[in-house]
């Protein structure tokens, strides 16, 4: 595809667009039809021939290479995980923490990031410091005040789970490098698939994400990038056959490769789906998706600003596809159910998943509308009209 995105084609290949307005991509997004056809083909072959002849190492290698191509890494730096939460736990359990060190997270952190690191801190005698966000934007200079020579890890969010403000992760990385010896980790879960990701440009040590959201891949798969020289230093959380060599009755060796973070069997059909989803996004062009999602994010805010009875929360800085909104006097859960009755699929963002960020804006729940490249202006109009009607019903 050249020029703009072939909307007709991508919508045809996305069944959920046929009879509803699907604006739930920050939570999960269905795989495109050609990707599912590739999965069906491999399942079919396994049914006919058994899995043994299906080049499972090749399937795994292609999935790692696809992730690596997408984020500017090498396949040998990619661990396939079960989720983003699993990935951050591999980091929290994998670093040889020393008591007295500190970890820097941010007010935009997702629950699993905070939980895994708070637990590590409590168990290992570490301190967790929190960089504030101003109008939902992290300022690189604010990291400086939180760094010192005991800072071991900094985790920044590339795209918060509850709002659309893209975070300046490359600039944050520069501040981290200049003012500390800390490891730098980026949570790209809400960015990968809707915004270019480049681990070399970000100069990060770790980066992780998940397949089912903006990448439009399978459920239950995530990935973790670890910068090559760090890999042999990562302590595996679990010990299974990919990670180890059984060298004697009382001895074993942990492999030096990224396989040290792998455990047991993998969902090979889902690896095919992940590879296909990444190639599909790259064929469209991540830069084009980025432009389109920015455009749709702006268009949605402009449309919703005109609707009486709505509250919008992230109008100050640049935006991506996620739009946090509430209908005054209508709980988010009720509004989302009413949207669903009208054929519009969004979801609720709960405080418990982004405690610090939602407390900052004083909301326990938000309606999370999240638009991806295949959504249209006409769908935004339908959404605005529906939310307007819900506001009128709520006010009665
Ligand atoms: C920013 C962010 N990080 C991490 C996660 C957790 O992803 P997973 O379900 O793959 O563990 C989410 C899920 O919504 C998220 O939005």
- Domains (range + CATH), the chain: 7-30+285-395 (3.90.1150.10), 35-282 (3.40.640.10)
Residue 354 CA to residue 112 CA, distance in Å, equals 9
- Distance from Cα 304 to the centre of ligand 1, integer Å: 26
Output the pLDDT for position 53. Answer: 83
Mutate to test the pocket of ligand 1, among 29, 81, 85, 270 (most ligand atoms within 8 A of CB): 85
- Distance from Cα 347 to the centre of ligand 1, integer Å: 14
Q: Determine how β-strand 365-370 pairs with β-strand 322-327.
A: antiparallel
Find the residues whose C-beta lies inside 6 A of ligand 1. Answer: 83-85, 110, 112, 157, 161, 187, 189-190, 210, 222
Output the pLDDT for position 246. Answer: 98
Q: What is the position in ligand 1's atom list of the atom closest to the CA of 27?
A: 14
Residue 283 CA to residue 373 CA, distance in Å, equals 13
- Distance from Cα 375 to the centre of ligand 1, integer Å: 22
Output the pLDDT for position 52. Answer: 86
Residue nearest to atom 1 of ligand 1 (CA): 161
Residue 254 CA to residue 259 CA, distance in Å, equals 9
Taking the CA of residue 124 as centre, how many other CA atoms within 13 Å lie in the half-sphere pointing to its CB?
Answer: 22
Output the pLDDT for position 1. Answer: 44
Mutate to test the pocket of ligand 1, among 190, 191, 214 (most ligand atoms within 8 A of CB): 190
- Distance from Cα 159 to the centre of ligand 1, integer Å: 11
pLDDT along the chain (396 residues), means of 10: 84 97 98 98 94 91 98 98 98 98 98 98 98 96 97 97 96 98 98 98 98 98 98 97 97 98 95 98 98 97 97 92 96 98 98 96 96 98 98 86
Output the pLDDT for position 62. Answer: 98
Residue nearest to atom 16 of ligand 1 (CA): 161
Mutate to test the pocket of ligand 1, among 25, 82, 84 (most ligand atoms within 8 A of CB): 84
């Amino acid at each position: 595809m050249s020029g703009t995105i072939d909307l007709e084609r991508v919508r045809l290949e996305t069944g959920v667009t046929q009879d509803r307005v699907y604006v739930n991509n920050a939570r999960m997004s269905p795989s495109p039809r050609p990707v599912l056809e590739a999965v069906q083909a491999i399942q079919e072959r396994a049914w006919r021939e058994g899995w043994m002849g299906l080049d499972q190492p090749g399937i795994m290698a292609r999935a790692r290479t696809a992730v690596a191509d997408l984020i500017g890494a090498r396949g040998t730096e990619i661990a396939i995980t079960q989720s983003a939460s699993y990935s951050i736990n591999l980091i929290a359990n994998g670093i040889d923490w020393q008591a007295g060190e500190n970890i820097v997270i941010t007010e935009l952190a997702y629950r699993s990031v905070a939980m895994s690191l708070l637990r590590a801190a409590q168990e290992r005698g570490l301190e967790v410091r929190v960089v504030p966000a101003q109008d939902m934007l992290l300022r690189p200079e604010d990291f400086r005040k939180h760094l010192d020579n005991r800072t071991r890890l900094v985790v920044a969010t590339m795209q918060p789970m509850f709002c659309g403000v893209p975070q300046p992760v490359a600039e944050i990385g520069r501040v981290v490098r200049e003012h500390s010896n800390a490891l730098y980790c980026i949570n790209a879960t809400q960015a990968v698939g809707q915004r270019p990701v480049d681990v070399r440009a970000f100069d990060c040590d770790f980066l992780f994400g998940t397949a089912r959201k903006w990448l439009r891949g399978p459920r239950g798969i995530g990935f973790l990038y670890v910068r090559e020289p760090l890999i042999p230093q990562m302590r595996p959380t679990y010990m299974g056959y990919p990670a180890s060599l059984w060298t004697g009755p009382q001895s074993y060796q942990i492999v030096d490769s990224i396989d040290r973070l792998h455990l047991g069997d993998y969902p090979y059909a889902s690896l095919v789906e992940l590879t296909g989803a990444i190639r599909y996004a790259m064929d469209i062009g991540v830069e084009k998706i980025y432009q389109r999602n920015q455009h749709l994010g702006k268009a949605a805010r402009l449309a919703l600003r005109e609707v009486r009875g709505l509250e919008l929360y992230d109008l100050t800085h640049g935006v991506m596809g996620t739009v946090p909104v509430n209908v005054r006097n209508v709980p988010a859960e009720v509004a989302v159910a009413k949207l669903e009755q009208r054929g519009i699929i969004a979801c609720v963002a709960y405080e418990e998943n982004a405690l610090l960020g939602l407390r900052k804006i004083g909301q326990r729940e938000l309606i999370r509308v999240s638009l991806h490249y295949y959504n249209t202006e006409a769908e935004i109009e339908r959404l605005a009209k529906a939310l307007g009607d819900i506001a009128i019903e709520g006010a009665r």
